DNA sequence: CTGGATGGTGTACTTACTACACTAACCAGT
DNA sequence: ACTGGTTAGTGTAGTAAGTACACCATCCAG
């Protein structure tokens, strides 16, 4: 097959998108990584992502690459920043527009693909050596995620549609890495008027069942105060 | 002159940087714009910016374009976001990495250049019609600037090295577009322990002279609480 | 019916924020 | 030298927000 050639009067960088997808598994903040099937950094772990199609929107590209490489779709996505150090990719000049994404800890089925030998969750405390500048990108994403906890409803993106207050508190505790007082936490959350009781309860073991709640404006991150 | 040709197996977008430079003039938040000397949007006003050199760092590109088109340098710069809607430039696919920047209201000498017929400050409330999606970029920059007022020391970037508390309060008032209580403002700022008295005073008219202050960590934006 | 586990609730205290008014210092003009 | 105008500089009392803290409820397993 004879590849088509694209000619420009000035050199153009390549543009990629990369996605930092977080979830919480077993009370641990985890990141989705793929094992690179091709050079460069073949066999190393990296963020899911890839080259922008020439008439594709940036966010659409991030979603598409995530879907292609891991099978995951329909989740919250937000632009994180753009990385373009001149030598970050050994092949050619590459500008990467990065996104961070959150997924509830259920229905997660990462799968391999043509570009990714394997896809897997890594606890953020036990990351392998990463390709490109992806360690730096993950570090920035984590900072941003934690910062947004304080002034947005982003935490709900890590829970299923209905959830208990204990589950919600656990999300905050894992991300902030500190224990929170149960009564104060519940008081503060309920004072914000952003969730309502479903009327149902959930039994998760041999103890009293918990009331379940849902977000008033689901799948939408709002800035609060 | 015979232009060199650059050939790729896949189409590459062009990459530009654009800078939203704010200052405060006459108690009004203003943005630096340039009048485009060349098509597209010839004669219209736009943000200073231009194409990335192939081995140039992104932030360096933003600084260079700002210097070339307006003569301004040595100011605070921070990445804002990346805009890449497929049709945002009529010539070809262009991804723009945008920065926002702040300048104290003194030593400002915008000047014309080869790409810019003219450079001028526009009050944010009286922007002309703008080229590309630059109106949207300015809108995002303004949101971000106001948000950062609340949790960072960014306001000091709009003041000279030494300043009075009244000048600082005026910056906050202009950006927040509301009057602040003098005593509470001073109390809150001083409680943060980020500025110190210089020992000098400044006479700015026929009234009592004001103590002047300076930032403990000058030219460095910190996150506070 | 008992023990173990998580769910659910209120109050007192401490800290941060808000509202608010007068004197001090300088200059200009008479 | 005195007056009026203009900005600089200061404290307190009330209100709202956040923190610390302990016990009973409900379910399941054995």
Q: Which nucleotides of D are covered by protein (CB under 7 A)?
A: 4-12, 18-22, 25-29
Residues 6+ apart with CB under 8 A from A215: A153, A156, A161, A194, A195
Let me know: does B97 contact B57? Beta carbons within 8 Å.
no
Residue B3 is nearest to which of A9, A58, A84, comparing CB atoms? A9
Our answer to whether residue A161 is catalytic in this structure is no
At A183, list the tokens. 């009564």
Return the higher-pLDDT residue of B108 and A88: A88
**B6 phi and psi, to 5 degrees?**
-120, 125
Helix (H, G, I), strand (E, B) or coil at B11: coil
| Second-level CATH architecture of B154-215 | Orthogonal Bundle (1.10)
- The pairing of beta strand A94-102 with beta strand A14-25: parallel
Mean pLDDT of A212-221: 92
B-chain CB neighbours of A6 within 8 Å are 7-12
Predicted confidence at residue A126, as pLDDT, reads: 96
Beta bridge mates, A1: none
Question: Which of B84, B100, B137, B225 is the mutation pick for testing A, counting most A CBs within 10 A?
Answer: B84
Confidence band of A116 (pLDDT split at 50, 70, 90) = low
Q: How many residues does chain B have?
A: 225
Average pLDDT over residues A12-31: 96
pLDDT in tens, B31-50: 999 999 999 999 999 999 99
- How confident is the prediction for chain A on average, in pLDDT? 93
Distance between CA atoms of residues A109 and A116, nearest Å: 14
CB B66 within 8 A of CB B22: no
| Listed residue (B85, B55, B65) closest to B18, CA to CA | B65
- How large is the average pLDDT for residues A52-78? 95
What's the CA gap between A150 and A223, in Å, rounded?
A: 9
Q: Indicate the domain borders of chain A.
A: 14-151, 160-215
pLDDT band at A109 (very low <50, low <70, confident <90, very high): low
CATH fold for the domain made of A160-215: Arc Repressor Mutant, subunit A (1.10.10)
The low-confidence residues of chain B, meaning pLDDT below 70, are 1-3, 106-116
d(CA B174, CA B171): 5
Q: Which residues contact B139 (CB under 8 A, 6 or more apart)?
A: none
Distance B208 CA to C24 C1' (A): 8
How far apart CA A72 and CA A113 sit, in angstroms, is: 12
B interface with A, Cβ–Cβ < 8 A, is 3-15, 51-52, 54-58, 79, 81-82, 84-86, 93, 95, 97
Superfamily of the domain at A14-151: Nucleoside Triphosphate Pyrophosphohydrolase (3.90.79.10)
- Give this complex's ipTM: 0.92
């Amino acid at each position: 097959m004879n590849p088509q050639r694209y000619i420009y009067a000035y050199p153009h960088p390549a543009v990629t998108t990369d996605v930092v997808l977080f979830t919480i598994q077993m009370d641990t903040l985890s990141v989705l990584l793929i094992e690179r099937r091709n050079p460069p950094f073949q066999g190393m772990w990296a963020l899911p992502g890839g080259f922008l199609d020439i008439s594709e929107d940036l966010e659409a590209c991030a979603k598409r690459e995530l879907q292609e490489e891991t099978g995951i779709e329909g989740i919250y996505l937000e632009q994180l920043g753009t990385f373009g150090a001149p030598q970050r990719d050994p092949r050619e000049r590459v500008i990467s527009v990065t996104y961070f994404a959150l997924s509830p800890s259920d229905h997660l089925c990462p799968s391999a693909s043509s570009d990714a030998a394997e896809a897997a969750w890594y606890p953020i405390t036990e990351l392998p050596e990463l390709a490109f500048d992806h360690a730096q990108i993950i570090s920035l994403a984590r900072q941003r995620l934690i910062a947004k906890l304080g002034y947005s409803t982003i935490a709900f993106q890590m829970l299923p549609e209905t959830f208990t207050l204990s589950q919600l508190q656990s999300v905050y505790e894992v991300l902030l890495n500190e224990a929170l007082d149960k009564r104060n936490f519940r008081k503060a959350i309920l004072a914000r008027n952003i969730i309502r009781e479903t009327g149902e309860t959930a039994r998760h073991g041999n103890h009293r069942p918990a009331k379940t709640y849902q977000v008033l404006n689901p799948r939408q991150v709002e800035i609060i105060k």
